[in-house]
């Protein structure tokens, strides 16, 4: 398969940036999963779609939007009623879903070439993200595995908490570089490292 080029390449500067004299508040990175797939179930077929997700990934997804689960390099989350995003480091996830789901259950859309995955982690990750999104990022309100779908200045983002102080954000490739730069500016006052 052709290697995907990162839209962040011109702006991706490794090292420490901002006010890091007292330590680094967050670490920013691009994760580059092999597959990002959207599953959309027809009304009344949500349980069958969830069963197909479990069959393909081995992950047991809680019912409903916002629920999710993370297991190593695999992640799945609901972002709207009957709509799910599935991420894996392996390629070919869309083809596996095309075999596991019939057209009567819903649709499978491969977003691997259309999205960029950005990770922010560290003790100040919640604080930096709160500058962008009107969401409660505290652990009790946004537990590990959970996800939210929102926007920042017309840039659509799906956010999944993948660890205690780690979030993975999925944004359109065409907006990824400008979002990356804005994220860096927001993290300057706590100090950030690009890994």
Q: Which domain holds residue 154?
A: 9-32+114-194
If asked whether residues 105 and 155 sit together in one domain, one would say no
- Of 80, 81, 75, nearest to 37 by C-alpha is 75
CB atoms near residue 133 (< 10 Å): 15
**149 inside domain:** yes
If one counts the domains in the chain, the total is: 2
If asked whether residues 126 and 80 sit together in one domain, one would say no
At 166, which CATH number? 3.30.1360.120
- Of 99, 103, 69, 106, nearest to 87 by C-alpha is 69
State mean pLDDT over 37-47.
94
If asked whether residues 130 and 91 sit together in one domain, one would say no
- Of 94, 118, 110, nearest to 175 by C-alpha is 118
Residues 118-168 have pLDDT tens digits of 999 999 999 999 999 999 999 999 999 989 988 887 788 999 999 999 999
**What is the reported pTM?**
0.89
Residue 43 CA to residue 77 CA, distance in Å, equals 18
């Amino acid at each position: 398969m052709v290697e995907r080029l990162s839209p962040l390449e011109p702006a991706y500067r490794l090292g420490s940036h901002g006010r890091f004299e007292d330590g680094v508040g967050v670490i920013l990175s691009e994760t580059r999963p092999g597959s990002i797939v959207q599953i959309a179930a027809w009304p009344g077929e949500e349980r069958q779609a969830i069963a197909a997700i479990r069959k393909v990934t081995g992950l047991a997804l809680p019912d409903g939007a916002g629920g999710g689960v993370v297991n190593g390099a695999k992640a799945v989350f609901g972002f709207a009623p009957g709509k799910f995003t599935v991420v894996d480091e392996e390629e070919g996830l869309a083809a596996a879903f095309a075999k596991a789901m019939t057209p009567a259950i819903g649709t499978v859309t491969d977003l691997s070439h259309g999205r960029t995955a950005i990770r922010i982690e560290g003790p100040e990750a919640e604080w930096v993200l709160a500058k962008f999104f009107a969401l409660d990022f505290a652990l009790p309100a946004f537990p590990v595995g959970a996800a939210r779908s929102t926007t920042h200045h017309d840039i659509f983002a799906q956010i999944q908490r993948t660890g205690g102080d780690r979030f993975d954000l999925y944004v359109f490739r065409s907006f990824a570089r400008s979002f990356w730069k804005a994220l860096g500016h927001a993290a300057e006052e706590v100090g950030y490292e690009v890994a």
